[in-house]
Amino acid sequence: MIVINLLEIGSNSNILVDKNGVFDMSAPNATGKVNMISSAGNFKVRVYKPKRLKIVRPNNDSNLVSGNGNIEIHDIKATASGNGVVLQDVPFQYLNLPFIRTNLTTEANVAFLQAQTTSNELKKLQTVLQQLQIGNSNNFNEFGQIDVTSINGPELSDTFKTIEPQQKGITGTISNKEPNDTSPLTDTQIRVVLQHQGQEIDLGTTTEINPDKDSVDPKRKMLNPPVQLAPIEPDKVDWFESSFNNLPNRSKPGADLATPWKYVTDPHVINWQGNTFNINDINLLIDNYNRNNPKNKITNFAPSDILKVMAVNNFQASTVRQIRLSNLSLNLDKTKGKKVYALGDDLQIPLQYQDVNPDAKKLSIYGYMDPANNEMLDLPVTQAFNEFSMTPNKDVNQLVWKIPASEGVTATPQKHNYKFYGQDDKQSQSPIFDTDSSGKIPENSLLNYFYDVINVPAYAGNKLLDKGNTKIASNENGYKNPAVIASGKYTEANIFTAKNKTAKVDNFTLSRDNKTASAADSPGIRLTNDLRLTVSAGNKQQTQSIKYDTNYQASDFDQIAVNGYFPVNTTFKVEQGIEIDYGQKDLNLAPVQLQTNFDNDGVLDSLDLGTTRNLQLGNVYLLRLTVPNLIDFGKHTLNNKGKAPYFISNRNEVQRNLQLEYTQIPNNKLAVSVKLQNELEDSQGHMLYNSLFYKAPGSNSTEQSLNTTNDTVIFNKVLPANVSNTNVNNHLADSWWVNKQQVAGIFLKNALNNPQLGHYSTTLNWSVTNSI
C-alpha cells in the first residue's frame, strides 16, 4: 500500500502556530492511507491562541500524526471526534498531547498527557480517553479530526478611584482583551487582593473551587484523577506579548497554586449590570475576612497598602488594576462656603473629613494658590499649612479651614483656584497621589476651591456693650467678658473698620442675624427703636437713624460721599439701646453683618463685607433700682434763713417706691447715689441754691449737700463672701423715719436771706453701681 505523508518534518522539528495563526490540513479526496503529519524523529508543535488549527484525516486508514512527539496548546477551545467518540467545544487553559508512532500516549519522550481545565470538563475528557484506550495499555487511538480555536481573556477598565472612608466602592467594566472579539463575556469572576503590611490577603468570598470555571490539573493521573485536583493559576491575559521572544517559557503549563484563588461572588457584596460590576463597600469584604480570621484582623489601612483587582474568565486574568487606600477622606463641602470675597478678607474653605484610624489624632492640610495647569508642585508645601486636632470615628466631620489674608489669598481682585490635600499624623492622605521621580506633585491630582475676589474692601467687625461710659463686654480678642451681668439698660455698638485701605464701596446694608438659632438674640433681650449709624472718613463724620435690612447708597450720606462712593478707609458704627431682663442664662447678642450689593456677571448679588459676630455674656442677675416719681416737701410760709429743715410730706410713696432689688453675689459692692440735674427753680426763674441735702441714718452722721457736680451716695454695702445667690428687695427709705418722724434722708432748707414766693422743683438723677 502506498502511504502519503502530507506534511513531513525532520527530527527535532518545532512548529509554532502563533497567536491568530491558521493551521488547516485536510485531504478530502484521498482514498489511500495518509499521514497528515509525519516525523522521522521527535517533533514538537506549539499552539497559542490560534485563529484556527484544524487537522482532518481523510479516512479511517489514515492518521493525524505518525511519529514521536507532542502537540502543546494554550488557551483554546477544542472539538475532536473519530473512532466512535466526540469531544465538543471543551475549553483548555493548557493541553499537551504526546504521540508515539500513530497513537496517543500517556507519556512520550519528556512530555506526558496533561490537561488543565475545569473539573467538569476533565470528566468529559476522561470518558473519551477511556473509550479510546487500547486495552489496558498507556496508548490510545487517535482522533479522526481535531478542530481548535482560541478563547480570549478579559480586560478590566483602568478607571478605579482610590478607596477612602467616603469612597468605599469599586466599579469596573469588563471587555474582551482582543478588540475584534465580539463574543459575549459570561461567567467573569472578580478577584480582590489586599497588599497589607507585607502580606497579600485574598478578600474573595468563595470557599471552594468552582467546577465550571476554575482550572485544575490531575497531573499524571489523567485516567484516575485524585479527589483533590491541583488548582492552577490563570494565565496573564498578556502572556503572549510578555513571552514573545522567549519561546521555552511559552510552552509551560499554568502554574500550580498552593491555595486556589478566591473570588467575590456574594450577591450582597457584588452586583452586575451587563459587563459592569459594582462592589458597594470594600468594608464588607474586610468584615468577611475578619470573621474568618479573628486572630489576624485588618483594623485599618497602612499608607503603603494597595488593593489589587482583576477579572478572570476563560482561565485568563486581566491586567491587575491597583487601587490606593487611605484611612482618611477629605473633601470640599460644596454646599457651603463663600464663592466671592472682598479684598483683605480671610479665606474660609468648608471641608468634610473622616478618619477611621483610631490612632490618628491630627489632620494637616497643605495648599497651593493658583498653580499653573499641569504644574508639578513641591513637596512638602511651603505655602499654606494648618493643623487640626481630630477625633477619628465613622462619622463625617465638618471644619472650616481659615487662611488669613496675610497669606495673600485675597490680595488681588480676580478669579482664583486654591488647591490642597490633607494628611493625618499616621501618614494617610487624601486625595491620594503619586509624586514623580523628583518628589513633585501633579497639580491636577489635588482638590480644588474656586473663588472670586472683587474690588471692594473687607471689614473687621467688633461688638461692644456699654453702660453709660463704661465698657461692659466686647468680642475683641483678649477681652475678658463677665460671667454674669446685671439686668437693665445698655447700649450696643457694632463697629466696622476697613481691612483694605485702597478699595471703596458705594452702598451697604446692615442686618442682624436672628435667623440662625445658635446666634440669635436671647429671648430676654429687647431692642429699642433708636438705631443710629455714624459714618466716619478722615476728619468727617455723619450720624443718622437707619433701619436694618435696608440698602443705603453713599449719596444718602452727603457729608461723607465723594463721587458716589464712601472714601477709602471709611468706618461704620451702628449703636442701639437694649434692655436685658433678669433671669436669662447664657446671654447672647446676635451678630450684625455689613453687606454690599454688586454686579455678579449681570446679576445683582450681595457680599458680606464683615460681621461683628455674636457676643456671649453668661447669666443675668437682678439689679434694679426703683425711685418715686415725686419727693414732695409740702407747702410752707416763708421763714428766715437757718430755720429748721422742711421734711418729706409724701412719706408713704417714698418708702414704698425707693427700693433696690438685687441678686446676692459674694463680695459684690453695691452703691446707690443721687445727683441734682439742676438747682431748685420756680416758674419765674427764681432759684433756691444749696437747699437740698442728705443725712444718713444714725446720730453721728453729717449733712451732705446735693449738687449738680458730684454724686451723693445714699446706700453702700459690701456683700459677704459666703452669701447665697438669693434675691433681696431693699427699701432704701425705711430707715429715714422713726415713729413717723423723719430723721434721715433728703431734706429741704431755706438757704436764702430773702426767698421768693413760688413752686420750686428740680430733677434728681439716681444711679446704682456694683463691682461685678
Judged by average pLDDT, the poorest of 337-341, 475-479, 610-614 is: 475-479
pLDDT at 751: 65
- Total residue count of the chain as it appears in this document: 772
Average pLDDT for 140-161: 91
622-637 pLDDT, tens digit per residue, is 888 999 999 999 988 7
Strands 63-82 and 145-150, bridge-based pairing = antiparallel
What is the domain class of 328-455 according to CATH? Answer: mainly beta
Judged by average pLDDT, the poorest of 327-336, 376-385, 753-762 is: 376-385
543-581 pLDDT, tens digit per residue, is 999 999 999 999 999 999 999 999 999 999 999 999 988
* 9 SS3 class: strand
pLDDT band at 443, cuts 50/70/90? very high
Average pLDDT for 94-115: 88
Judged by average pLDDT, the poorest of 242-246, 511-515, 545-549, 577-581 is: 242-246
Q: Where are the beta strands (DSSP E) in 274-412?
A: 276-279, 306-313, 316-317, 321-324, 328-332, 340-343, 347-355, 362-369, 376-377, 384-389, 397-403
Of the two residues 640 and 222, the one the predictor is more confident about is: 222
Please indicate whether the domains covering 458-620 and 623-769 agree at the CATH topology level.
yes
Strands 276-279 and 170-176, bridge-based pairing = antiparallel
- Predicted TM-score (pTM) of this structure: 0.70
Phi, psi of 722 (to 5 degrees): -105, 25
Dist. CA 241–CA 49, nearest whole Å: 12
Of the two residues 384 and 575, the one the predictor is more confident about is: 575
CATH of 154-214+260-324, one of 3.10.20, 2.60.40, 1.10.3470, 3.90.1200: 2.60.40
Q: Which residues, including other chains, have CB under 8 Å from residue 201's CB and lie 6 or more apart?
A: 193, 194, 195, 289, 298
Domain range summary for the chain, segments of one domain joined by +: 3-150, 154-214+260-324, 328-455, 458-620, 623-769
* Amino acid letter, 333: D
pLDDT at 199: 92
Average pLDDT for 24-30: 92
Average pLDDT for 425-445: 90
Dist. CA 191–CA 169, nearest whole Å: 15
Instruction: Domain 458-620: give its CATH code.
Output: 2.60.40
**CB-CB contact of 204 with 263 (8 Å):** yes
Q: Which residues, including other chains, have CB under 8 Å from residue 403's CB and lie 6 or more apart?
A: 346, 347, 348, 349, 367, 384, 386, 409, 418
pLDDT band at 216, cuts 50/70/90? very high
Dist. CA 152–CA 180, nearest whole Å: 11
Burial of residue 98 (number of CB atoms within 10 Å: 0-12, 13-18, 19+): buried
Question: Does residue 172 surpass a pLDDT of 90?
Answer: yes
Question: Does residue 261 surpass a pLDDT of 90?
Answer: yes
* Amino acid letter, 432: I
36-75 pLDDT, tens digit per residue, is 999 988 888 888 888 899 999 999 999 999 999 889 999 9
**CB-CB contact of 772 with 670 (8 Å):** no
pLDDT band at 251, cuts 50/70/90? low
pLDDT at 382: 53
pLDDT at 765: 94
Dist. CA 85–CA 125, nearest whole Å: 10
pLDDT band at 650, cuts 50/70/90? very high
Residue with C-alpha cell 511651603? Answer: 382
C-beta contacts of 131-138 below 8 A and 24+ residues apart: 131/83, 131/84, 131/85, 132/83, 132/85, 132/104, 133/223, 134/103, 138/105, 138/106, 138/107
Judged by average pLDDT, the poorest of 454-463, 511-520, 568-577, 595-604 is: 511-520
Average pLDDT for 503-530: 88
Q: Which three cell numbers stand for residue 71?
A: 502537540
Assign domain 623-769 to its CATH architecture.
Sandwich (2.60)
- Omega into 431 within 30° of 0, i.e. cis? yes
Judged by average pLDDT, the poorest of 14-23, 455-464, 508-517, 635-644 is: 635-644
pLDDT band at 375, cuts 50/70/90? very high
pLDDT band at 753, cuts 50/70/90? low
pLDDT at 559: 95
Q: Where are the alpha helices (DSSP H) in 518-658?
A: 651-657
Kindly report the number of other CB atoms within 10 A of residue 655's CB atom: 19
Dist. CA 201–CA 193, nearest whole Å: 5
* 611 SS3 class: strand
